[in-house]
Amino acid sequence: MSSSTPEITVAMPAYNAASHLLEAIESILAQSFEDFELLVVDDGSTDNTLALAKSFDDKRIRVELLPSNKGRATARNMALGRARGRYLAWMDADDIAMPHRLEAQHACLEAQSQIHICGAGVQYFEQSSALELFPEQPGATRAATLFGVPVPNCCVMVRLDAMRAFGLRYDASLARAEDMAFWADALLKAGLQAVNLQEPLLHYRYAPAAHARQWHMRALLGHVFPPLGIRATGAQVALHAGLIYGGPAEPEAALRWLDTLWQAWTARYEHDEYMQRHMLVFVARILREASADAAQADRAGRLLRTLSLAALAENI
């Protein structure tokens, strides 16, 4: 590795991360792929995060410091600006990378020049033992962007030149859901291509947290819907969030909203099989919930037959 041009920059934003930082850093230093720099961005920590990051005698580690806590988006943007590698891999300061993580994601991007983003599965630990996999193919990841995060921000590698060519940045006005907004900008606005390896490459330290629905709604309004030409009302955004998180929805309003999404999507991407699957799942759920009330079910069924979704609904 040259001192100025490592193949990969592993970027690790850290805020008051002293409890788990050493374990996270050691998992990167133990990687089978060795041509990397580890860029730790201390986001104004008040514990000994900075001292721990500087305690390693390894020239591959660089530490940058924000003078005060600016939030996750600002720390990530500093890393995007300071990274020196061809590729950038995000790593959270409390997770543990599997030893072949960098090797596997680097090989994926090297083998597919048309792919700009490579995610992977994550294995939860501590308060959950679930294995989470993400959509594998570019079309599937693009469609997933409309309903959540299409790649795991904690376990993703990107072509840094592509991020910079499109001026992609994390939205610092978002205290949460900044990753949802970033990947929408990358896949829907910039048109970049993403895949996810169907194997876990990261141990993700899971702790239950309340859904930050209001931040997700802001990400939808500012980043997800605009590339599709959708000007959503507050009520429509709330309805969309309800579809994602679950909960009751007025069937006719939900069907009209899905039809709006489908028309906007097909106007840009034609009849995308991956989005069709999402639409079928939501339509089936709405009709199932409406079936508890015969009159409501009849109204929903009659409305559906007038919508562009009607042809898809024949498969339900």
Q: Could you read off the pLDDT of 254-267 as tens digits, one per residue?
A: 999 999 999 999 99
- Give percent above pLDDT 70 in the chain: 96
Is the pLDDT at 315 greater than 70? The verdict is: no
Is the pLDDT at 34 greater than 80? The verdict is: yes
CA distance 234 to 142: 24
Residue 193 lies in a domain: yes
pLDDT band at 237 (very low <50, low <70, confident <90, very high): very high
Answer yes or no: do 167 and 105 share one domain: yes
CATH of the domain at 34: 3.90.550.10
Is the pLDDT at 200 greater than 90? The verdict is: yes
Digit-coded pLDDT (tens) for 258-305: 999 999 999 999 888 999 999 999 999 999 999 999 999 999 999 999
Q: What was the pLDDT predicted at 86?
A: 97
pTM, full prediction: 0.94
Q: What was the pLDDT predicted at 212?
A: 75
- Within 13 Å, how many C-alpha atoms sit on residue 16's CB side? 6
Q: CB-based contacts of 294: which residues, under 8 Å, 6+ apart?
A: none
pLDDT band at 2 (very low <50, low <70, confident <90, very high): very low
Residue 245 lies in a domain: yes
Q: What was the pLDDT predicted at 316?
A: 60
Please state whether beta strands 87-90 and 156-159 pair in parallel, antiparallel, or not at all (unpaired).
antiparallel
Answer yes or no: do 58 and 190 share one domain: yes
Residue 111 lies in a domain: yes
Answer yes or no: do 153 and 226 share one domain: no
Answer yes or no: do 234 and 173 share one domain: no
Where among 184, 206, 228 does a domain terminate?
206
Range of the domain at 198: 8-206
Where among 161, 185, 206 does a domain terminate?
206
Answer yes or no: do 156 and 273 share one domain: no
Q: What was the pLDDT predicted at 211?
A: 64
Answer yes or no: do 146 and 272 share one domain: no
Answer yes or no: do 160 and 47 share one domain: yes
**What is the tally of structural domains in the chain?**
2
pLDDT band at 37 (very low <50, low <70, confident <90, very high): very high
pLDDT band at 122 (very low <50, low <70, confident <90, very high): very high
Digit-coded pLDDT (tens) for 41-99: 999 999 999 999 999 999 999 999 999 999 999 999 999 999 999 999 999 999 999 99
Answer yes or no: do 166 and 113 share one domain: yes
Residue 30 lies in a domain: yes
Where among 150, 183, 206 does a domain terminate?
206
Answer yes or no: do 87 and 177 share one domain: yes
Burial 163-202 (b: 16+ CB within 10 A, else e): beeeebbbbeebebbbbbbbbbbbbbebebbbbbbeebbb
Q: What was the pLDDT predicted at 3?
A: 53
Q: Is the separation of the CB atoms in 154 and 122 below 8 Å? A: yes
Answer yes or no: do 133 and 20 share one domain: yes
Residue 129 lies in a domain: yes
Q: What was the pLDDT predicted at 208?
A: 75
Answer yes or no: do 28 and 159 share one domain: yes
Residue 259 lies in a domain: yes
Answer yes or no: do 288 and 270 share one domain: yes
The count of other CB atoms within 10 Å of the CB of residue 64 is 17
Q: CB-based contacts of 17: which residues, under 8 Å, 6+ apart?
A: 24, 45, 47, 49, 93, 94
Digit-coded pLDDT (tens) for 206-215: 987 766 788 9
Q: What was the pLDDT predicted at 249?
A: 80
**Torsion-angle region of residue 247: left (phi > 0), alpha (psi -120 to 50) or beta?**
left
Residue 2 lies in a domain: no
